[in-house]
Amino acid sequence: MGVRVIKKIKAWGKQYDQWAQVRQMRLVLSDELHTCTNCGTEYQGRFCPQCGLKASIARLKIKNLFQNFLDIWGMGSRPMFRTIAQLFTRPGYMIADYLSGHQPLYFPPFKMVVVVTVIYMLAGWLRGVPIDGFMGIDFFDETLGDDVTEHGRVLLDMLDTIVSWFNEHLAFAVIVGQTIDVVATRLAFRKAKVKWSLVELFFADIYMSARYYIIATLCILIFKTELDETPAWGVLSVIIILYHWLTLAQLYQLGVWKSLMGYVRKTLWQGLVIVILVALLSLIVLIA
């Protein structure tokens, strides 16, 4: 019975992987003749060759109101919703498509993380949930107590100013915070056959951050609490980890075992880099 279940799971996984590797968009060109409503040029295809206007442009309808509202936030195109869907259905392959040059199919990662972060903060405001940013001066005060010199206090005040700025510019803070993760990923998967540069991994990480904030936003809207305070935090944290692992497995085109080992190595590298940075920061504070 157990062997049969395992075989079925493997068969399902193989079918899913075959489906996920195929880009989910097919542009079918027709022989239909269009007359451009802007310049009057007759043509075949999706865009006017003279002025570039879409063939689908027609008289304004109610749906155009919603479309124009979304355009203000940079979300008016179909790629926004397609990208969100594929971040949860075929994340690694979608990101690989984007990095390989199929960029018009998907919403740009930097714009996406900004939009998603704004929606996340708006959701917190609407639901009355305070949004916690990065740790501030209170963390250092509780850790070091009164054992801080005058120069150390000046340094802590400077750090608090920087942290406060990050808290007010969370989208930028998210981008800056990816650096450690990107370096750890590169080190952990440096022997994989598929190679991605640090810049490409940075773009991939931005997409994964956007997915995290989408989940966090849903948490606020459903549970009226932040992600790490929700009753389902244990389950959601496992889901987030599994999605991160699946993304890396698909991005590097690795099997379950190799991708799992790579994910463990990445986590260890992350921890090591963080410990080194914290140790250096503590040393600077204590010596000052």
pLDDT at 137: 45
Query: Of the ranges 23-27, 196-200, 242-246, which one carries the lowest mean pLDDT score?
Result: 23-27
Global pTM reads: 0.76
For the chain, the residue count is 288
User: Is residue 182 very low, low, confident or very high in pLDDT (cuts 50, 70, 90)?
Assistant: very high
For residue 76, pLDDT beyond 80: no
For residue 30, pLDDT beyond 60: yes
Residue 107 phi, psi dihedral angles, 5° rounding: -75, 135
pLDDT at 24: 67
pLDDT at 192: 92
pLDDT at 6: 79
State how far the Cα of 176 lies from the Cα of 165, in Å rounded to an integer: 13
pLDDT at 288: 57
Alpha helix segments (H runs only) across the chain: 2-20, 62-72, 78-89, 91-99, 109-127, 137-144, 150-168, 170-188, 198-223, 233-251, 256-287
For residue 136, pLDDT beyond 50: no
SS3 state of residue 34: strand
User: Average pLDDT, whole number, for the chain?
Assistant: 79
Work out the average pLDDT over 107-133: 82
User: Is residue 70 very low, low, confident or very high in pLDDT (cuts 50, 70, 90)?
Assistant: low
Residue among 14, 17, 160, 15 nearest 92 (CA): 17
User: Is residue 139 very low, low, confident or very high in pLDDT (cuts 50, 70, 90)?
Assistant: very low
* Contact by Cβ (8 Å): 263, 248: yes
* pLDDT tens for each residue of 222-258: 888 887 777 888 888 899 999 999 999 999 999 989 9
pLDDT at 234: 85
pLDDT at 166: 60
Q: Token pair of 27, please? A: 């542009």
State how far the Cα of 194 lies from the Cα of 173, in Å rounded to an integer: 29
Higher-confidence residue of 240 and 77: namely: 240
Q: What is the DSSP letter of 44?
A: E
For residue 285, pLDDT beyond 70: no
Q: Domain ranges in the chain?
A: 30-59, 67-287
Higher-confidence residue of 186 and 231: namely: 186
